[in-house]
Amino acid sequence: MHWPPFSPLVISILVQCITASHSKDSSPQPLPNGDDSVCDCFVTNGTQPGYFSNHMFFDFRNLTQDAGIPPIVTNVTNATFVPPTSDYFSSDEWTSVWQLQGWSNSEGKGKGLSGAATVLMAYSPANVYIEKNKDEDADSQTYLTLRTQREPKFQSAAAFQTKTSDYQFVSLRMLARTIGSPGAVTAMFTYRDATASSSLQESDFEVLTRGPRENVQLTNQPSFDSDGKVKPEATTNATLPGGMIWSQWAVYRLDWTADSSVWYVDGQQLANITFQVPQDAAGINVNAWSDGGSWSGNMSVYDQANLQIQWIEMIYNTSSSSSSASQRKWKRDPTRFLWGRDAGPRGELPRRRDLSLRSSSSSSDGDGCKVVCSIDEVTEQGVATMLWNASSTATRMAGADAVRDMAWAWTLLVGGLVWLMIV
C-alpha cells in the first residue's frame, strides 16, 4: 500500500493534537462555572509563596440598592449604638464573617483616654456605608466607605473586623483608596489582642493622611521598644510604585506567613519584613480613625477622611477547624446567585469556600494539595483558576474541554489520513 506524503492539512492537525494535549496542563485553567470547590488549596505568587486552604471574596461594586451617605451621629454615646446603615450590613453574607465596631477610647468616667490619645474617639456603625461611585471614569457602581470626621467634642471613626480571631496566615487584598484631610489613619491589618505591648502581634498596612501622599507605612508590631524607641527593623515607610498616590485606586495586598510579612501595591512589592512576624492566630481589621495622638495627628473640626473599598479578597488558613467550619459553613454558589436576597442591581455577594477540615499539611506547605488553584492568575477578580492538579476528579472536571478538543482533533486526523489514502 502506498502512503502519500503528509499534506499541510495533516501536519496542522498533528500540531493541533499536540498543542491540545499539553496546553491545558501548562497554563492556568478556568474552573467549571467558576466553582473553586475542587481546589484543595491556593498558592500565592510573589517572593514568599504560601499555601492556603480557604478563599473569600466580598464585592461592593454593584450594591446600588444599599447606597446612601448617612449623617454623622453627633452624640458620642449614641454614635456607638446606632444600627447599620443599610440592609447589607445586617445580612448573613456580611454578619457571618464581619462585625461593625461601636466603642470609644474612653477608659471610663474620670479615667481619661486610652494610649496616647488627646481626643475622645468613637467608632460608629453609621460611618460604614455603601456609596455610589461618582468618579468620571468609574469602573464600579458603588463602593464601601469608612468615614472618620472630627466633631467639636469628639472624633467620629469607622471600623469593622472579623468575628473570629482564628486566622493564622493570610493573603489579604483590597481594591481601595484614601481621600480627605490630614490627621487620619486608614488601615487594613491583622491583630491579636494583647494585655501588654510586648505581647502585641500585628501586621499593618497604613495610610497616614498627615504624611506624603505617595507613602504608606508597613509594620510588624510592636514598632517601639519598652523605652519608646522605634524598632527600625519592624517598620518601613514605603513609596508607592509608579508615581502613584494613595488617593488613587490600587490593589493593596498583605501576605502574612510564618516567616515574613510582605506588602504589595498593584502587584509591586514594597517591603518584606522578617523581624517579629506574628505567629499566633489573629483577627482581620479595617478602619479609619484619628485620636489626636502623635501617630495620627489632629484633624481640624469638621474635617473628614475616607477609606473607600471596591472589593476585599483573601485566602487564608485557620488555627481551629471546628470554629472555622461553624463560622464559614457556606460554600460559594457556583451559579453565582445571591444568598437570601433578590437578584438584580445589588450585584454579586461574597464568594466563599471552606476547606478548614482538610489536613494541616495541605494548608501549610502544599503537601497533600492535589488540586492547586490561584487568585493571582485570573481573568475575573474573585474567581480562582486551577494551576495544576494530580486528581483524576479534578482532571475530568477542569479538563473536559481538553478531552473534547483532543477527540475532535484526532477525528480530523484519522479522517484526513483516510481521505488521502482514497485519493
Domain map of the chain by residue range? Answer: 57-318
Q: What is the pLDDT of residue 363?
A: 43
Judge whether residue 333 has pLDDT over 90.
no
Span 57-318: which CATH code? Answer: 2.60.120.200
Least confident of 129-143, 219-233, 355-369: 355-369
CA 418 to chain centre: 55
Which grid cell sits at 318?
485557620
Q: Pairing between strand 51-52 and 41-43?
A: antiparallel
User: Minimum mean pLDDT among 5-9, 136-140, 277-281: which range?
Assistant: 5-9
Identify the pLDDT of residue 311. 99
CA 378 to the chain's CA centroid: 14
- Is residue 325 pLDDT above 50, yes or no? no
Q: What is the mean pLDDT of residues 409-420?
A: 57
13 has a pLDDT exceeding 70:
no
Residue 361 has pLDDT above 80, yes or no: no
Its pTM stands at: 0.79
Task: Give residue-wise pLDDT tens across range 49-106.
Answer: 999 999 999 999 999 999 999 999 999 999 999 999 999 999 999 999 999 999 999 9
Answer whether residue 25 shows pLDDT above 60.
no
In this prediction, residue 11 carries a pLDDT of: 45
Q: What local confidence, expressed as pLDDT, does residue 413 receive?
A: 58
Lowest mean pLDDT among 61-65, 109-113, 179-183, 305-309: 109-113
Confidence check: pLDDT of 222 > 60: yes
What pLDDT band is residue 354 in, cutting at 50, 70 and 90?
Answer: very low
Above 70 in pLDDT, residue 339? Answer: no
Residue that wins the pLDDT comparison between 260 and 402? 260
- What average pLDDT does the structure give for the chain? 82
What is the reported pLDDT for 118?
Answer: 97
- 46-50, 118-122, 169-173, 403-407: least confidently modelled range: 403-407
Q: Give the pLDDT band of residue 20 (cuts 50, 70, 90).
A: very low
The pLDDT value given to residue 293: 96
Which three-class secondary structure string do you get for the chain?
CCCCCCCHHHHHHHHHHHHHHHHHHHCCEECHHHCHHHCCEEECCCCCCCEECEEEEEECCCCHHHECCCCCCCCHHHHCCCCCCCHHHHCHHHHCCEEECCEECECCCCCCECCCCCCCEEECHHHEEEEECCCCCCCCCEEEEEEEEECCCCEEEEEEEECCCCEEEEEEEEEEEEEECCCCEEEEEEEECCCCHHHCEEEEEEEECCCCCCEEEEEEECCECCCCCECHHHEEEEECHHHCCCCCCEEEEEEECCCCEEEEECCEEEEEECCCCCCCCEEEEEEEECCCCCCCCCCCCCCEEEEEEEEEEEEEEECCHHHHHHHCCCCCCCCCCCCCCCCCCCCCCCEEECCCCCCHHHHHCCCCCCEEEECCCCCCCCCCEEEEECCHHHHHHHCHHHHHHHHHHHHHHHHHHHHHHHC
Q: What is the arithmetic mean of pLDDT over 312-335?
A: 56
Per-residue pLDDT band at 412 (split at 50, 70, 90) = low
What percent of the chain shows pLDDT beyond 90? 62
Report pLDDT for 411.
58
pLDDT value for 390: 79
